[in-house]
């Protein structure tokens, strides 16, 4: 079963700070960088006080993508006049409600710009004690809202990476349930995994009853970001609850995947 989401994408706003985008940015008075010299990374993410594992998982998958600056492109840096001190960031996100309204009206959706100050990032946000781009992204998502799973006061557990990707990219998505009655279901699962992370991102959701062989690695009905694979079909996944990646053989993983979310390629 496939669900297709066709979203009209528009160009990102011009970023006047392109040349400085990958510079470590210090959090005011505390010396904590926004992100490292290589930009946002999955390892910057770890679940904290919000019920947004699914949002963090979607962000981790996008941050892992090579050959892309999706996360950096939605950030605009604000400096204090006359100095190089970063006072805050502006994050451009799409409201899912706004996307649906725009589609109905036949126009391109416009992202909303949310200003996030350093002082907005508290201990309940992911990454607030280290690289804090993900905390700023959580805060901006709460201010943007437009979805039943994201409110100004927090998140609800029932969301998925699909919503996170819609808010971040405004692009086409496919959410697909694994149908093991199909003869080629294993190929349909492996094919997108094999594309990660070269300009591609993917998340999987575990089944309700993981097999005994991997139940210590995967919990039931949980979203994980796919970070990559090797030639021996060992798949690397990211667990936002632990803030760490782990590896599983594809042959062990395949029977424990219930859903996948991938971009809709043109």
pLDDT tens per residue across all 266 residues of the chain: 444 444 333 333 433 343 344 444 444 434 567 888 889 999 999 988 888 999 999 999 999 998 789 999 999 987 666 655 566 899 999 999 999 999 999 999 999 999 998 778 878 888 756 788 999 999 999 999 877 888 777 788 888 999 999 999 998 789 999 999 999 999 999 999 999 998 899 999 999 999 999 989 999 999 999 999 998 899 999 999 999 999 999 999 999 999 999 998 75
d(CA 229, CA 120): 37
Domains of the chain: 24-56+66-169 (no CATH), 173-263 (3.90.70.10)
pTM above 0.75, yes or no: yes
Do 182 and 188 meet the contact criterion of CB atoms below 8 Å apart? Answer: yes
Residue 13 three-state SS = coil
CA torsion through residues 164, 169, 175, 178, sign: negative
The closest of 164, 184, 168 to 261, measured between CA atoms, is: 164
Give strand pairing partners of 225.
Answer: 203, 238
Which H or E run includes 163?
Answer: helix 161-169
């Amino acid at each position: 079963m496939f669900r297709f989401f066709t979203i009209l994408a528009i160009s990102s706003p011009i970023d006047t700070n392109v040349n400085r985008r990958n510079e470590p940015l210090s959090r005011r008075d505390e010396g904590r960088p926004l992100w490292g010299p290589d930009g946002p990374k999955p390892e910057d993410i770890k679940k904290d006080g919000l019920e947004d594992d699914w949002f963090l998982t979607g962000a981790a998958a996008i941050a892992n993508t090579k050959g892309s600056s999706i996360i950096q492109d939605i950030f605009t840096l604000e400096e204090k006049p006359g100095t190089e001190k970063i006072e805050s960031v502006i994050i451009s996100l799409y409201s899912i409600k706004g996307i649906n309204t725009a589609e109905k009206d036949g126009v391109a959706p416009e992202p909303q710009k949310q200003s996030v100050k350093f002082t907005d990032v508290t201990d309940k946000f992911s990454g607030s004690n280290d690289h804090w781009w993900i905390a700023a992204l959580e805060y901006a998502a709460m201010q943007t809202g437009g979805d039943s799973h994201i409110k100004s006061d927090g998140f609800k557990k029932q969301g998925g990476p699909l919503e996170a990707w819609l808010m971040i990219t405004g692009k086409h998505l496919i959410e697909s349930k694994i149908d093991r009655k199909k003869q080629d279901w294993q190929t349909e699962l492996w094919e997108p995994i094999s594309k990660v992370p070269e300009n591609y991102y993917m998340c999987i959701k575990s089944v309700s009853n993981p097999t005994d062989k991997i139940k210590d690695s995967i919990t039931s009905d949980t979203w994980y970001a796919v970070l990559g694979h090797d030639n021996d079909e060992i798949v690397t996944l990211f667990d936002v609850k632990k803030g760490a990646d782990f590896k599983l053989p594809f042959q062990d993983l395949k029977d424990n995947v219930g859903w996948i979310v991938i971009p809709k390629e043109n």
